[in-house]
Amino acid sequence: MPELPEVETTRRGILPHLVGQTVQAAIVRQPRLRWPIPADLPETLNRLAIRTVERRGKYILIGTSRGTLIVHLGMSGSLRILAPDSPPRKHDHLDLILANGTCLRFHDPRRFGCVVWTEGDPLSHPLLAELGPEPLSEHFDALYLHGKAQGRSMAVKSFIMDSRIVVGVGNIYANEALFRAGIDPRRQAGRIALLRYEKLIVSIRDVLSEAIEQGGTTLRDFVNENGSPGYFQQTLQIYGRTGAPCRRCGEMIRTQRLGQRSTYWCPNCQH
């Protein structure tokens, strides 16, 4: 399930194959994603030059001479660079064929992802306009997070997973970061001291950048742009380890649904 590190890994992987290329054709096999792919997308993209491949949160922004293709991988999506004649497989919903013959292919079994076209400033698009700061940017610091948390009663885990607060912290990394920071995921966001938010900021940054270095976590669905799986799941400290001993203190790891999401914590290490 692509979280920010997987999205960033994908972006870096496809970028050199796309920038400077021209779209020769677009093939839509299944338009019904989270939002339908417009029927005229192939026509719109025809002969456009790709200039940039950027990321905002978990959205990949493919910038062209006329507008931007906003791609979200949802739960199970992937973007891969393929040879011109690669036969499509199940759930290969969209191809962009480039002038040099290579193919950018969007694959997404669960179809929680999206491919949206926008002209004008992509950051002003409704999907992106309300997003919070990037977790790896300097704007994301303890003063900001602590300030935003004032008066908020929701669980801190739900709070850091809110993309208006900070982008790119999905369920796996929220669990991992809170474990590292020693914070109980159920604790109310507004009842955590500045100093502890300092620790949480560092944990979120570390967990995400380590995963980016390693090429992104793989659970079941993620395949990186080369088709080979990542391997960060081996280093997970808390996620999915219900009933297993805490790697730090040996206490049995607990689990509970929090805001419809599986939540894991060590009752001894996290308060």
Residues of this chain that interact with DNA (CB under 7 A) are: 1, 3, 32, 34, 57-59, 72, 74-76, 90-91, 109-112, 126-127, 151-155, 158, 161, 163, 170-172, 190, 220, 239, 257, 259-262
Measured from the CB of residue 227, what is the shortest distance to DNA in angstroms?
Answer: 15
Supply φ then ψ for residue 220, to 5 degrees.
-115, -40
For DNA, the closer CB: 58 or 146: 58
Shortest distance (Å) from residue 124 CB to DNA? 14
Non-local CB neighbours of 63 within 8 Å, separated by 6+ positions: 50, 51, 52, 53, 54, 122
**Is 21 or 76 the residue whose CB approaches DNA more closely?**
76
Shorter beta-carbon distance to DNA: residue 97 or 165: 165
Beta strands 103-107 and 254-258 are unpaired
Q: How far is the CB of 145 from DNA (least distance, A)?
A: 14
1 vs 177, beta carbon nearer DNA: 1
Q: In terms of CB distance, is 151 or 250 closer to DNA?
A: 151
The residues carrying an active-site annotation are: 2-3, 58, 261
∠ CA(106), CA(35), CA(208), 5° rounding?
60
